[in-house]
Amino acid sequence: MPNQAKRIISFLIGIFLLLNLASLHAQGQYGFEWIRAYQPYIKIKLVKEGIYRIQSTDIPSFTAQNPRKFQLFRNGIEQSIFVSGELDGKFDSIDFVEFYAFPNDGLLDREMFRTPGEQAHTFKSLFSDTACYFLTVLPDSSAQNPLRFQAFTDSDYSNFSAEPSLEVLQQIVPQEDYYYGAFIPADQKYYLSEYGAAEGMMSGLIGQSQFKLFSFQTPNKALNSNAQVEVKIIGASDYFMSDPSLPNHHVRILILPDGVNPSILIDTTFRGYGEQKFTRTIAANLLGENTQFKVEVVNDIAVGSDFVGVSYIQLRYTRTNATIENAAVFELPKTQIASKTYLQIGNYAGTAPIIYDLNQRIRVQANKIGNTLQALFPYQSSKSRVVLQDAANLLSPISIVPHQFVVPNVLTNYQYLIVSNKQLQSGAEAYQTYRSTKYLTYLAYVEDLADYYTFGNFHPLAIRRFCKHVFDKQQVPPTFLLLLGRGYQNNLLKMNPETNRFNLVPAFGVPSSDHMFTNDFEGNSGAPSIATGRIPASNLQELNNYLQKLKALETNVDSIKAWRKDFLHLSGGSFESQQNEFRNQLA
């Protein structure tokens, strides 16, 4: 058989496997269990970590509500809040809601991986950094007590010794290149659509004799206090070697205090694709005001290629309590055993410090005396995670809007499901009207599904959970799922954020496979439990064009012989010459 034909057959086998071997292990919950239909909600979007304040004037629809019953949710989990002026049961014009929040992370993505352990980390989402929070109100009749940060106002510092140090945890999580994870072994690599094997964003590739530098701000290090570093390296090549025991990667990681005097922390060899995690203890003298980590690939193995990437670097170090600007997140040790823990920070640059102890759920009154910040905490033996932010630098959400959830009807035995985007609403409704002449058809919009099933996150799991919900609850499961709108793979969204505005109905998997939305609702064959397809329309005109052709095909077959095909050949290729070669073979 000619080599070209072999390559074509191998490519087509790869496509078949991508569509049929992909499987997903669904979780037991659908995602909407936290929602109460009888409560009002406000949707809050944000992208930065810190303390947020929402004035009563920002949420006029809540000014008549009882603030003692306010609740805040993120990813279906209640969050603690501080509500100023709530004791009188009125949300007056000078009152506010305050809370600590952080950007979207990768916890929701975990459900998409074959096994949770195959996710490289949860520091960042595969899809978006935007986090969604929902503010709501319990009925006055409810006996439930919402979670609160309680005010702690003790300011008698005279009988306590200040904690001498703080612990700071920092991460660098590069978002430069994409590691595709598991693949089908063949003469060429064909990647599985399901997520696994540390798949996700990482640093740009580092090749033989190349290196990358990663810098941490590490001011005011505490003397004689060791630091800890955790590094996850991704093997991104697997050069063939006849002896399977020999390594084909050589990586060295060095630490450079203030960019000079490098010391080797890790010098390791390994083989193949996938993740390698390393932890090391670092002596205090190896930290500078700025500490760099140099990751390099050593060119001393007889291989033709050696590529790696950095998934993340996490550094924990101990610093003195001297000089903090006006915002910080740190852990407060409790080395001074007393009834209260005394925090003192010199050279504080702000004027009105606000402090939250996330572990004890308290809002601590802090004072600035001269240039020194002072605060007291109730004593507990374990460390506290503390957030410090000056009142002048409190954060505001990017959007605050009243919200009403659209609850899907899952009990009507729909035969045909359509999921579209509200940008295509008129076209989607026309398609629903046409399909309803033959099937009992339900139209849902992905924006509504995201709010109901994935906590406001625009995420492919919203569609999957919706389909699983309908599949489980209907007496007769639906037969068809149509995705009405273009979608982009998550790696394209991350590497080119401009594509987000074209991502109308999100894609699932890299390379994307729409079967992943509905596969394995019963059994684990990898096959879709609902016949699934997509019309990748980018606008209403494209959607209307398709609908008119569909109507012509189904109502007057003979009128379209001119453009009907007896066969449809699909080909691809990794580069232009290969694409031309495949196309010529199929011509």
pLDDT tens string 298-311: 999 999 999 999 99
Q: Where in the chain is the domain with CATH 3.40.50.10390?
A: 405-581
> Is 0.75 topped by the overall pTM?
yes
Q: What pairs with residue 71 in β-bridges? A: 136
pLDDT value at residue 448: 98
What pLDDT band is residue 562 in, cutting at 50, 70 and 90?
A: low
pLDDT value at residue 1: 42
pLDDT surpasses 60 at 538 = yes
Q: Is 3 helix (H, G, I), strand (E, B) or coil?
A: helix
What pLDDT band is residue 9 in, cutting at 50, 70 and 90?
A: very low
Quickly name the fold that domain 166-320 has. Jelly Rolls (2.60.120)
Q: Where in the chain is the domain with CATH 2.60.120?
A: 166-320
pLDDT surpasses 80 at 271 = yes
d(CA 194, CA 24): 7
User: Which CATH code for domain 405-581?
Assistant: 3.40.50.10390
pLDDT value at residue 87: 95
Q: Find tokens 């000619």 and name the residue.
A: 2
Q: What pairs with residue 403 in β-bridges? A: 41
Question: Contact at 8 Å (CB) between 516 and 464?
Answer: yes
The residue type found at 274 is G
pLDDT surpasses 80 at 14 = no
Mean pLDDT score of the chain = 91
Closest CA to 490 of 112, 41, 42, 8: 112
Q: Is 230 helix (H, G, I), strand (E, B) or coil?
A: strand
The residue type found at 180 is Y
Residue 378 has phi, psi (to 5 degrees) of: -60, 140
pLDDT surpasses 60 at 8 = no
d(CA 19, CA 345): 58
What pLDDT band is residue 566 in, cutting at 50, 70 and 90?
A: low
pLDDT surpasses 80 at 41 = yes
* CB-side neighbour CA atoms (13 Å) of 163: 27
pLDDT surpasses 60 at 12 = no
Counting beta carbons within 10 angstroms of the beta carbon of residue 228, is it exposed (0 to 12), middle (13 to 18) or buried (19 or more)? middle
Residue 450 has phi, psi (to 5 degrees) of: -65, -40
Mean pLDDT of all residues in 53-63:
96
Residues 399-431 as b or e (16 or more Cβ within 10 Å = b): ebeebebeebebeeebbbbbbbbebbeebbebb
Q: What is the DSSP letter of 351?
A: S
